[in-house]
Amino acid sequence: MANSYSVDVFRCTESDVLVATSEDIPGLTLEADTLGGMLEAVMEMVPELLERNLDVPRDAEVQVTVRLQQPEQPALQQGRSRRPRSQVSALTPRYVVEETLIPSHA
């Protein structure tokens, strides 16, 4: 069974950039202007940080889930469940991007 790691991505309202952090991957803090840029940064940095900080070999089978967190918009999101948004599979099929809804009062 592959090791599983999670990366949380959210938009910083103060600087209007995407920020990625992870409780599973020590040292992971990334910023990017676009989702595409963030995914590129995650795919570049995660293997390096797993190897350096957790002694996970680069050729180890791992699953990294990238969760996009957005404030919930009650009128639009009501009744909607969490669902996969897209998958990055062309180069690294182990990265999954999903949308996580967070209530606006959180």
- Count helices and strands (H / E) in the chain: 2, 6
pLDDT in tens, 58-78: 888 899 999 998 754 444 444
Give the predicted TM-score (pTM) of the model: 0.65
What is the C-alpha separation between 48 and 104, in angstroms, rounded? 34
Do the Cβ atoms of 74 and 80 come closer than 8 Å? no
pLDDT in tens, 16-38: 899 999 999 999 999 999 999 99
